[in-house]
Structure 1
Amino acid sequence: MADKVSHDIIEKWLKAWSLSREISPPERYQSGFKVNVGEENQKVRYVFPELNDDYIELSKLIDESWIYLKVCASPDSVKNVVPQRWEIQPAGYMMSCFGPMNSLDNYYLPEGYQLEYEKYNSTSVVKIMTDKSEQASIGRVVIVDDLAVYDRIITEANHRRKGLAAFLMKELEKIALSNTISNNFLVATEQGKMLYESMGWELYSPYTSIVIPPNTIV
């Protein structure tokens, strides 16, 4: 895990996150960033590379639902410094792989599946489809400067435990390598973290999100 989270890497990751979703790029906000997401259940997100006074003061000012505060810190450290109206979300993990992922030797595309590719702005999409045109797995890689950001890696429940996600990641990596990029970054869930670790990824930083649920008494 990095001794100190790089402000530059977080900014590149957040730019990629925004490009992947085709929304406005992040804006600087004090020592962090602000993204106007514009979704019903996520109006705005603020992201801070560290737990500091800017983050804590903002948590005291906001009393509106569906505005997310995100920070590179553990859930316990966040819980102790923000007002009780905030709800801690499931743990996230910023992960990096600054170099090639583990070998493809054990990864293969099972019979009955095929690959499809799409691209928009600087986002490349890889899909694994069944021979009945059903989407089994999908993921994106976005190139921002010298960083390849992997985003929205999803395998449908009835297609899991077949190695599809690992194969998908290696296909996405090929796109990054074709752009001479070998610095890889993503945010994982608890479930995804195990897969990425098996492929040579390492924990970069814990990543905690909080939000005020609707109808919360302030």
Structure 2
Amino acid sequence: MKNTVSKDTIEKWLKGWSLSRQLPPPIAYKSGFKVEVGYPNQKTRYVFPTLNDDFIQLISSINDPWVYLKVCASSEEVKSQISGKWEIQPQGYMMSCSHSMNISDSSLHHDYQLEYESYNSTCVIKIMTKDGELASTGRLVLVNDLAVYDRIYTDNKHQRKGLATFLMKELEKIALSKGVVNNFLVATEAGKPLYQSLGWKIESWYTSIVIPGIKPGSKR
């Protein structure tokens, strides 16, 4: 798979990712970007458009746990560059959609209702049960001409009911209302088939590595 994600697109996506999580914006770091995340299990993240010398130098210079290095390359490519102290995370995929999603007319089942929130240029849609239980949720951040979809989630108990598809369509409506037609997200292996069915295409592998430490809350 050939990486077709530009550095400019990665910067916009990472800015949206940071806004969605109420984190500081990304800053340039050599040929990539850096975000000070500050979570117990993710202190910092570095993101690179390609597997290059800057990425490889970071691999050898970092010894602290919970610093994530992320790159548009396959896990097999990255695996050949790392030592045993690094742990490869499940394969991810950068995906885009520059046309209306392939979604036929859909409606939300009467057992569910929509809730909307917004913060930091982030629009949040929640699909709730009548009892107030969160069934599905997702976020959309508009960064210039790019619509960043983030934290798309459907509870296991509510899967296979079309909620994720309905959610994506509602998020798309927000982007279209602002005249934004270029959509972007990072998918997991599990989420990739859904997005592909909606007309999204894979632009690049997206691989993450980290030196694991003691998980927050664990006993030594």
Q: Sort the TM-score into its range (normalised by shorter chain).
A: over 0.9
Match of 2:218 in 1: none
Match of 1:94 in 2: 94
Distance 1:131 1:206 in 2: 39
CA drift at 1:100 = 1.0
CA drift at 1:2 = 6.0
Match of 1:191 in 2: 190
CA drift at 1:108 = 2.5
**Alignment deviations for residues 110-168 of structure 1 (CA, whole Å, 9 cap, x no partner):** 22101111111210000001111111000000000000000000101111110100100
The one-letter amino acid of 1:80's match is S
Question: SS of 2:190's equivalent?
Answer: helix
Alpha-carbon contact 1:118-1:126 (below 8 Å) kept: yes
CA drift at 1:104 = 2.9
Task: List gaps (5 residues or longer) in structure 1.
Answer: none
Alpha-carbon contact 1:5-1:50 (below 8 Å) kept: no
Match of 1:172 in 2: 171
Alpha-carbon contact 2:3-2:73 (below 8 Å) kept: no
Aligned positions of 1:6-25 closer than 5 A: 6-25=6-25
Distance 1:160 1:3 in 2: 31
Aligned positions of 1:1-218 closer than 5 A: 4-105=4-105, 107-214=106-213
**Alignment deviations for residues 158-203 of structure 1 (CA, whole Å, 9 cap, x no partner):** 1111010010000000000000001000001111000000000000
The one-letter amino acid of 2:185's match is L
Question: SS of 1:197's equivalent?
Answer: helix
CA drift at 1:75 = 0.2
Alpha-carbon contact 1:137-1:165 (below 8 Å) kept: yes
Aligned-pair Cα RMSD in Å: 1.1
Alpha-carbon contact 2:3-2:205 (below 8 Å) kept: no
Distance 1:115 1:68 in 2: 34
TM-score of the superposed pair, with normalisation by structure 2: 0.95
Question: SS of 1:96's equivalent?
Answer: strand
The one-letter amino acid of 1:206's match is W
The one-letter amino acid of 2:180's match is I
Distance 1:148 1:100 in 2: 13
Distance 1:119 1:111 in 2: 24
CA drift at 1:83 = 2.1
Distance 1:43 1:207 in 2: 19
Distance 2:87 2:2 in 1: 27
TM-score of the superposed pair, with normalisation by structure 1: 0.96
Task: List gaps (5 residues or longer) in structure 2.
Answer: 215-220
